[in-house]
């Protein structure tokens, strides 16, 4: 996340995330699923601007007319929660420019919510302790707290328990976002948790080594098979990525889908893979990076 002051307000670039590992050990007593995931933030951003205005309301405008701009939007929920918890009375006008596709497993809405907490904390000069912001983030949504950390972290619980991990090298990906989306709730509803959950240890070891080839061998997503059973046409994206060796070290669906990514051996390999994929009509394609 990139937060910067601008004339009369604050601007934030809110990144997308990819899940390099996602296991779902079981269902929790509260009805949510327990997860263990290695997540990374990549350089594809929604843009948000925040400016104070008269009154005490929260006004959101968005360039995507399909998205709600009332309390159903996580941006509005985040702003209202911070106002309530801090007692701040000023109103705010928020402009959101979307670049991260919805229903793609890239957590654009969660990232926008985290951006809202960070931006309004600065705009209103609240100086909220990081732990308090993280607690509020966890109340808004499962992936929101991750975006207050990054660029790489292990997320557990519902996703709100975040532990930073070091990123020894930049990671380069080709990202494919098909035109079809998937409901996270639908995917989790059909999931049968494993009797023996897969360990996150090997992929964390591979990340620490800074080896894209080892990291590629450790890519795993428990939700991918379920998502592909709901949307069988996604197999075409999966197979196209799988056929891009030696450019890619491995490929995977992100989160509950429908976006897929391939891990490049380096930046040039990821960009070459994107050029191969673009003419295939699989959806939106671009090369993205985690890290400098």
For residue 17, indicate whether it is catalytic.
yes
Gap between the Cα atoms of 281 and 12, Å rounded: 32
106 is in an annotated binding site: yes
Say how many C-beta atoms besides its own lie within 10 A of residue 163's C-beta: 9
Is 110 one of the annotated binding-site residues?
Answer: yes
- CB neighbour list of residue 24: distance below 8 Å, 6 or more residues apart: 33, 34, 35, 188, 191, 193, 194, 197, 222, 223
> Is residue 66 a known part of a binding site?
no
255 labelled binding-site residue: no
Of 43, 112, 121, 143, which one is the catalytic site residue? 143
Of the residues 17, 46, 112, 121, which is catalytic?
Answer: 17
Q: Under a CB-based contact definition with an 8 Å cutoff, are residues 199 and 220 in contact? A: no
Q: Is 25 annotated as a binding residue?
A: no
CA-CA distance, 8 to 173, in Å (whole number)?
A: 36
Asked if 98 is an active-site residue, the reply is: no
Residue 109 is assigned to a ligand binding site:
yes
Pairing of strands 152-157, 91-97: unpaired
3-class state of residue 231 by DSSP: coil
Non-local (6+) Cβ contacts of 1 within 8 A are 12, 13, 14, 15, 41, 111, 114, 115, 118, 147, 148, 150
65 labeled binding residue: no
Active site positions, annotated = 17, 143
Report the binding-site residues for ATP. 101-111
Report the binding-site residues. 101-111
């Amino acid at each position: 996340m990139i937060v910067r002051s601008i004339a009369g307000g604050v601007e934030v670039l809110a990144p997308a995330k990819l899940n390099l590992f996602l296991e779902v050990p079981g269902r929790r007593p509260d009805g949510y699923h327990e997860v263990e995931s290695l997540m990374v933030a990549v350089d594809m951003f929604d843009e948000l601007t925040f400016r104070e205005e008269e009154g005490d309301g929260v006004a959101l405008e968005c360039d995507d007319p399909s998205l709600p701009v009332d309390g159903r939007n996580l941006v509005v929920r985040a702003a209202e929660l911070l106002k309530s918890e801090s007692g701040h009375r000023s109103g705010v006008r928020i402009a959101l420019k979307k670049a991260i596709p919805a229903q793609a497993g890239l957590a654009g809405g969660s990232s926008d919510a985290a951006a809202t907490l960070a931006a309004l904390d600065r705009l209103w000069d609240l100086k909220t302790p990081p732990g308090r912001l993280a607690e509020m983030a966890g109340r808004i949504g499962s992936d929101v707290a991750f975006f207050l950390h990054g660029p790489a972290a292990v997320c557990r619980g519902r996703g709100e328990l975040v532990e930073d991990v070091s990123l020894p090298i930049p990671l380069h990906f080709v990202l494919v976002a098909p035109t079809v989306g998937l409901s996270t709730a639908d995917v989790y509803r059909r999931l049968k948790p494993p009797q023996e959950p897969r360990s996150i240890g090997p992929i964390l070891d591979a990340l620490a080594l800074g080896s894209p080839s080892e990291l590629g061998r450790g890519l795993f997503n428990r939700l991918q098979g379920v998502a592909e059973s709901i949307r069988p046409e996604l197999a075409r994206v999966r197979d196209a990525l799988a056929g891009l060796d030696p450019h890619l070290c491995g490929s995977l669906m992100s989160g509950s889908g429908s976006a897929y990514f391939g891990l490049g051996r380096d930046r040039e390999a990821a960009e070459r893979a994107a050029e191969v994929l673009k003419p295939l009509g699989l959806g939106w394609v671009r090369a993205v990076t985690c890290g400098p």
